[in-house]
Amino acid sequence: MLKMVQEELETSLGQGRIRVDASLAPYTTFHIGGPARLLVEPRSTAELVAALRIVQNYGVRHFVLGMGANILVGDRGFDGVVIRNTVRDFRVHPSGRLHAAGGAIVWPDIIRETTRAGWSGLEHFAGIPSTIGGALWQNLHFLSPAPKRERTVFLDEIVVQAELLGGDGTVRTEDHSWFRFGYDYSMLHDTDDIVLEATFQLTAASPDDMQRVIEENLAWRAERHPPLDTEPSAGSIFRKIDGVGAGRLIDECGLKGTRIGGAEITHRHANIMINRGGATARDVRRLIAHVRERVERETGHKLIPEIMFVGEFIEEDSNTGDDV
């Protein structure tokens, strides 16, 4: 079946565009993960839609990969087609409407341009590794503005609508209300829709004021989050618990610095695990299970993983979460 899919993808996108048994580790912020049976990298929205429709028509297992943050890919890789979205296109209208498409767009690119043009709304998310689709999927948020940081700013505050590709291959537009945004949640969690383009409403503001917010947020994050270039991670491992942070519970159990294999709980933030070098998905899953067991035993709280588990894992571990 995958051979037929490969042939049709090559017919649509061109010969040599499909990679076989390609490692996914370089395409995740954790730098962990085995190979994908097939890896395709669309260069335009039209190619992305074409590739998705092909795999949907064949009914083969597939996964759309953006920046690769907030996920853990199994050591055995992904037994199907991984579509790595490399589309990158955004534009701001004179009205302040921002139209952004593509998994290759990362927030620094957009924030830099919108700040320079005097359009406010995205500066609060400076330094957060995410793409457009991923940001909508989890309703990106940040504790801002400085210096008090008393309010959580959510992406949905500026979302107008998004163009989606459904599991049936049809393209449609949904407005803000469809997403049912919540903390770390949007309707995308419960559907197989793929974000093709999103529209945001920005407001006019002083570039100098926005730049000040950006610098303050970057400094604040740098104190609390490990740098991805030297300490690869997937971001926060566990979901927030109302009234008490997951990181605080882990810290209270004395688990900062705990290490299994190449996976370690960073001293900067108890809810972040880093790849110390050579970490495997099995290392991370074992560390997650260890943390969950300790926290529940000592505090009574049950931690639920925030990251997504993608692909095939070596061990069977029911104490980590659901796999994709």
Classified as helix, coil or strand, 141 is: strand
| pLDDT score at 316 | 58
| pLDDT score at 242 | 80
| pLDDT score at 21 | 98
Dihedral over alpha carbons 67, 310, 172, 42 (to 10 degrees): 50
pTM of the model: 0.90
What is the spatial distance between Cα 265 and Cα 259, in angstroms, rounded to a whole number? 7
Strands 171-175 and 159-165: antiparallel
Query: What six digits make up the tokens of 111?
Result: 């924030």
What is the spatial distance between Cα 54 and Cα 6, in angstroms, rounded to a whole number? 10
**What structural domains and CATH numbers belong to the chain?**
2-84 (3.30.43.10), 89-223 (3.30.465.10), 227-310 (3.90.78.10)
| pLDDT score at 240 | 86
| pLDDT score at 144 | 66
CB-side neighbour CA atoms (13 Å) of 244 = 11
What is the spatial distance between Cα 27 and Cα 243, in angstroms, rounded to a whole number? 35
Dihedral over alpha carbons 130, 251, 280, 303 (to 10 degrees): -70
Beta bridge partners of 323: 309
Q: Which amino acid is at 169?
A: G
Classified as helix, coil or strand, 321 is: coil
Residues 6+ apart with CB under 8 A from 23: 33, 34, 35, 77
Q: Which of 321, 311, 259, 235 is nearest to 36 (CA)?
A: 311
Q: Which of 218, 205, 221, 217 is nearest to 116 (CA)?
A: 205
| pLDDT score at 221 | 87
Q: Which of 139, 73, 30 is nearest to 308 (CA)?
A: 73
| pLDDT score at 318 | 47
What is the spatial distance between Cα 167 and Cα 74, in angstroms, rounded to a whole number? 24
Cβ-based neighbour number of residue 124 at 10 Å? 26
Classified as helix, coil or strand, 270 is: coil
Q: Which amino acid is at 198?
A: A
* Residue numbers of the chain with a pLDDT score lower than 50: 318
